[in-house]
Structure 1
Amino acid sequence: MYESYYGFSERPFQLSPDPRFFFASSHHQRALSYLQYGLDQGEGFIVITGPVGTGKTTIARNLLANIADENIVAAQLVTTNLSPDELLELVAAEFKITVTGNSKADKLQAIEQFLIGLNKQGKRALLIVDEAQNLPAETVEELRMLSNFQLDNKPLIQSFLLGQEELKTIISAPDMEQFRQRIIASAHLKPLNEQEVKGYINHRLAQANYTKEDLFSDDAFQLIFEKTLGVPRKINIFVDRLLLFGFLEELSNINCKVINEVAQEMSEELTGSLNSTSLENNRKSQPLLPNSTENVENIKNVLREVEEILEGSIQQKVKMTRYIDKLLKQKSRELAELQSNSTEDK
């Protein structure tokens, strides 16, 4: 890809959460501090919420990567809509607990015996539940029941819940009072502000061993902030595409003109739609009238939008073809150099 062109040791804006690229904004640092505090306490629940793409999973990975206490045995669940029984099965699987029997009682007994065994070794269990907003209220309650496993008045397992804002609604329900009383800290992540976006981008570039300072113009960071709204995942997607565009066009600097051009190409990805909802609503609310001037205009508008989409798709394919051609030429040059060096050695 573009790594060698810009001198990166690796792609700096990958989507996969990587603790090495963790950027401690004020909100993220506070959330991480709460997680660490909860870990030190060894009991209760920690709840971290935030919009999609704000870095909840990255925080969890960062915490796991930096756990210095060898006596903490951690497991991470990425949940879907699990029933309480399915949750227990997943907990047993992640901690590699052997369960004899299929009843809920069998699973609970196996988990409890595992936790007691850890306690006898001077260890304790940490369960990190990601995407916790997908859990039904009764499954969240099952997590609370697991926290009742104790020995000598010390909890045997601790849970961290990471989820989108819907998780707040679940926990705030009247019948979740007992669960709320077990929460010892909570934090809500927000998108990055303009200054943090600049720091975030420069931090990830530095992690990829990029040493120059002029890759982005001074006003580029402000525009990237406006296009991505400061959401880290959108920043990763957008800047990754900017760098690919820069590589294809052989650019050494990414300026506002480039950013606007790429943003236009990526408008569907950055906004999440092409106004398909409003188009669909128009179709439902306006009956087809063959002789209606208004209907003819609607059809023309739809056709124009389809034309724009097709044109954008064609442009993207042309760019990708150019990229492949350029990559093949680059590989061909590298192969020729290797063959030349091999001949000289002989």
Structure 2
Amino acid sequence: MYLSFFGLNEAPFSLTPNTRYFLRAESHAQALELLLVALREQEGFIKVSGEVGTGKTLLCRLLLNQLPEEVKTAYLPNPQLTPTGLFQALADELGLSLPDAENTHRALSALQRHLIDTAADGYSVVLVIDEAQAMPEETLEALRLLTNLETESRKLIQVVLFGQPELDVLLDQDSLRQLKQRITFQCRLSTLDRAAVDAYLQHRLAQAGFNGGRLFRPGAVRLIAKSSRGTPRLINILAHKALIAAYGQGAREITRSHAKQAIRDTDSARQPNGLGGWA
């Protein structure tokens, strides 16, 4: 659509998580560093939370890409599983046949034997769960049982939970206090301030092949930052629509007017109230 018009090689504001577009904003860079250090130190449970659209899945994929070769990973993007389903999904990710997953004792014994063999071969195992706030309470308890699998000197499996703030509420339940106590490190992803939004827009444009001057005018950046509340997913939506609006007018820069068109076309963005202010 507008790619050749603006000198782009690919769509810069796609909603599909692409680790090449990861911007090391302060909270995101700190979260990645925390994850890598904690996993290197063999810390059992780690939790990363953040509002919808703040980049948890992108960070999750970046983590999986940056773990060293001696780490075997199991990735569960859909945690709405029963305890049996959790054991079976983990076994599938590890290439283990688990014929009796419904028997908790036998399932854990089989997983422990496999994890001990894996450790003996010089590998560690990391289980990464995305959208963890959707995990049923009984499955979270089964997850806690997995972290009981250890030798005298090390954990046999480490768990990283990525979830929305509802995960924090879920873990505050008294019935899950044992699991919450096992979370040794945690962090929360922040939204972007105006300066970070500006850097975010420029970074994604550069990654998509843009090599011109400033494409988004300061007024457009301010509106996108305010209406998106600094949420990367909303920034992508508004920036994409603003590019379409400018392209439709044959404009070579994204102005405040183009940003306003994008905002008014996006229900989830903070809207102008018609009096020169914002709702």
TM-score, normalisation: structure 1: 0.74
- 1:54 maps to 54
| 1:93-131 C-alpha deviation (Å, 9 max, x unpaired) | 222321223533443333223212211210011111110
SS in 2 for 1:187: strand
3-state DSSP of counterpart to 2:223: helix
> CA deviation digits over 1:280-332, x for unaligned, max 9?
xxxxxxxxxxxxxxxxxxxxxxxxxxxxxxxxxxxxxxxxxxxxxxxxxxxxx
1:271 CA displacement = 5.8
Given the alignment of the two structures, is residue 205 of structure 1 paired with residue 205 of structure 2, yes or no? yes
Distance 2:150 2:233 in 1: 39
Aligned residue in 2 for 1:270: 269
Deviation at 1:234, TM superposition (A): 0.6
Say which SS state the counterpart of residue 16 (structure 2) adopts. coil
Asked if residue 81 in structure 1 is aligned to residue 113 in structure 2, the reply is no
Q: 3-state SS of the aligned residue for 1:59?
A: helix
Tell me how far apart the structure 2 counterparts of residues 134 and 54 of structure 1 sit (CA, whole Å).
17
Alignment partner of 1:252 is 2:268: no
Q: Please tell me the residue identity of whatever aligns with 2:123.
A: K
2:220–2:257 contact (8 Å) kept in structure 1: no
Supply the distance in 2 between the matched residues of 1:182 and 1:29 (Cα, whole angstroms): 24
Shift of 1:46: 0.7
Which position in structure 2 is the counterpart of 1:281?
Answer: none
* Structure 2 residue identity aligned to 1:59: L
| Residue 164 (1) aligns with residue 130 (2) | no
CA distance in 2, matches of 1:173, 1:226: 35
Is the 2:3–2:9 Cα contact (8 Å) retained in structure 1?
yes
Q: Given residue 75 of structure 2, which amino acid in structure 1 is its aligned partner?
A: Q
Q: Which moved more, 1:211-220 or 1:128-137?
A: 211-220
- 1:93 is aligned to 92
Aligned partners of 2:237, 2:185: CA distance in 1, in Å? 32
User: Which 5+ residue runs of structure 1 have no aligned equivalent?
Assistant: 273-346
**Counterpart residue type for residue 130 of structure 2:** D
Higher helix share: 1
Pairwise CA distance, 1:167: 0.6
**1:339 aligned residue:** none
Call closer, same or farther: CA 1:130–1:124 in 2, change over 3 Å: same
Whole-angstrom CA distance in 2 between matches of 1:260 and 1:248: 14
Q: Secondary structure at the match of 2:162?
A: strand
Q: Counterparts of 2:262 and 2:43 in 1: how far apart (Å)?
A: 48
CA contact (8 A) 2:242 2:261 kept: no
What's the offset of the Cα at 1:58? 1.0
Greater CA deviation, 124-133 or 201-210?
201-210
CA distance in 1, matches of 2:262, 2:194: 20
Alpha-carbon displacement from aligned partner over 1:146-203 (angstroms, at most 9, x marks no partner): 0111134311110000100011112122232322222111111121111111111111
SS at match of 1:43: coil
Partner of 1:150: 150
Q: List runs of 5+ in structure 2 lacking aligned partners.
A: 272-279
Structure 2 equivalent of residue 184 of structure 1: 184
* Matched letter for residue 77 of structure 1: L
The answer for the alignment partner of 2:235 in structure 1 is: 235
Alignment partner of 2:61: what SS? helix
Tell me the CA shift for residue 80 of structure 1: 4.1
SS at match of 2:192: coil
Number of matched residues? 270
The structure having more radius of gyration, on CA atoms, is: 1
Shift of residue 250, structure 1, vs aligned partner: 2.1
CA contact (8 A) 2:46 2:183 kept: yes
1:56 deviates by 0.9
Deviates more, 1:99-108 or 1:238-247: 99-108
For 1:174, give the aligned amino acid. D
What percent identity do the matched residue pairs reach?
A: 34
Within 2, Cα distance between the matches of 1:102 and 1:187? Answer: 33
Q: TM-score, length-normalised on structure 2?
A: 0.91
User: SS at 2:161's partner residue?
Assistant: strand
> Is the contact between residue 43 and residue 157 of structure 1 (CA under 8 Å) also seen in structure 2?
no
